[in-house]
Amino acid sequence: MGLVLGMAAALWALGWAMKVPWRTRATLVGLLFAATVLANLVLPEGNALRAATGGSARDWLVLGGVAGLVLAYRAGLARLRRRAGPSPAPEAPRPGAVGAFGAAELDRYARHIMLREIGGPGQRRLRDARVLVVGAGGLGSPALLYLAAAGVGTLGVIDDDTVENANLQRQIIHSDDRIGMPKVFSAEAAIRALNPFVAVRPYRRRLTEEMAADLFADYDLILDGSDNFATRYLVNRAAVALGKPLIAAAMTQWEGQVSLYHPAAGTPCYQCVFPQAPAPGLVPTCAEAGIVAPLPGVIGSLMALEAVKALTGAGAGLGGRLLIFDALQAETRVIAVRPRADCPVCGAGGVAAAGRGA
C-alpha cells in the first residue's frame, strides 16, 4: 500500500507545485485509487502488480469508504454554512447615537448599568448629554478621558494651545508623538481611540466674551479646567447668564479644589466664592511654582465624577460645597460656600438677576 500512497502524495504535491486546481488533483488521485482497486479485483492472487498494490481490494475499499465519509461531512458542513449566510458584521460605532443601546455599548457600560444609582436610565442620560470642557491641559486631560470612558455622548473641548514636551509630565491625554499638535486635536485622537461611540467637537481657539454665549448654549454642562482667573470669570459669567451648571477646579503645587456652581439651582456662582482675582504674582502659575504630576489626575477625575453625578442625578453633588484636597498632607476638607447678595454676576443686579427680569 505504501507504493500507491506514495504515488498519490507525489501526484498531489506535483499538482500543487504546478498550481493545478484542487479538483483536477483530486480526480487524478481518485483514478489512481480506482485503478488500484480494479487491479486487486481482476488480477490473480500472487500477481506481482497485485502484490505491489496491497494484495487485497478489501483494505482499499475500507480506506476509500473512510475518505468518502470525511469528504461527505465537509461538503455537508459547507452547504450548511452557505444556507446560514455570511456572519453578521461587528457592530459599527455610532458617535452621538440615539435609540436603544447596541450590544457593544451594553457590554462597555455594564459596570455603570449595574450601579443602582445610574442603571440603564442614567447611562442613557449620559449618552444623551453634551458636555463642554474648557482647557485640554492638566485638569481637562483626565476629565475628558473619564467622561469619554463613562459614555458621555458628545464632548466639546476648547483650547488654543499646542502640545509641548513640558506638558507630558501631567497632561495624560497627550503623547510624545503629538508634540506640536493643537491640544484639541490631540485630545480628539485620544478620545476616539478610547471610545468610538463618543462624538467629539474640538474648538481650536481662545474663549472670548463674544463667542462664549453661543458656544455654551449648545451644551448641558460646562467644565472649567482653565489656568487663569480671567478665563474662569468669563466662563462663570457665560454659564450663569445661560443658567448652565458649571464644575470648576484649580490647583497648584500639592493642593487642588473643585466645586459645582449653579445659581439657578440655588448654589453660589464662582465669583461668589472668589470675588476678586489675587494680585499679580501672589498666586504663581504651575510653570513658576511647579506641580506634582498625579494631582491634576486626582482633581480632574473629581470633576468628571461630579459631572457624571450631575448628569445622572446620582448621590449628593458639590453644589454649595468646596472640596479642597491637600496631597502633601493627605487631607481632604469640604467647606460650605454660599451665594453673595452683592455678587456682580448672580446677585441682585447681576447677570442672573437681569436674565430673570427679562
Mean pLDDT calculated for residue range 147-160:
97
Residue 332 confidence (pLDDT): 96
pTM for the complete prediction? Answer: 0.73
Q: Is 162 helix (H, G, I), strand (E, B) or coil?
A: strand
Q: What are the helix (H) ranges across the chain?
A: 2-17, 22-42, 48-52, 57-84, 103-108, 110-113, 119-128, 140-150, 183-194, 209-216, 229-242, 270-273, 286-289, 294-312, 351-357
> Which residue would you say has higher pLDDT here, 229 or 40?
229
- Radius of gyration of the chain from Cα atoms? 36
Half-sphere exposure of 238 (CA within 13 A, CB side): 26
User: Are 29 and 8 spatial neighbours (Cβ–Cβ below 8 Å)?
Assistant: yes
Nearest CA-CA partner of 138 in 183, 101, 95: 183
Residue 136 confidence (pLDDT): 97
| Helical pair 57-84 and 22-42, crossing angle rounded to 10 deg | 150
CATH number assigned to the domain covering 106-357:
3.40.50.720
Residue 353 confidence (pLDDT): 53
The pLDDT of residue 262 is above 90: yes
> Which residue would you say has higher pLDDT here, 311 or 89?
311
Strand partners, 334: 323
pLDDT per residue over 80-114, tens digit each?
A: 666 655 544 455 566 656 678 899 999 999 999 99
The pLDDT of residue 315 is above 50: yes
Strand partners, 249: 258
Chain-centroid distance of CA 173 in Å reads 12
Spatial distance between the Cα atoms of 196 and 218, rounded to a whole number of angstroms: 21
Contacts of 78 (CB under 8 A, 6+ apart): none
Q: How crowded is residue 256: how many other Cβ atoms within 10 Å of its Cβ? A: 24
Query: Domain residues of the chain, as ranges?
Result: 2-60, 106-357
Chain-centroid distance of CA 228 in Å reads 30
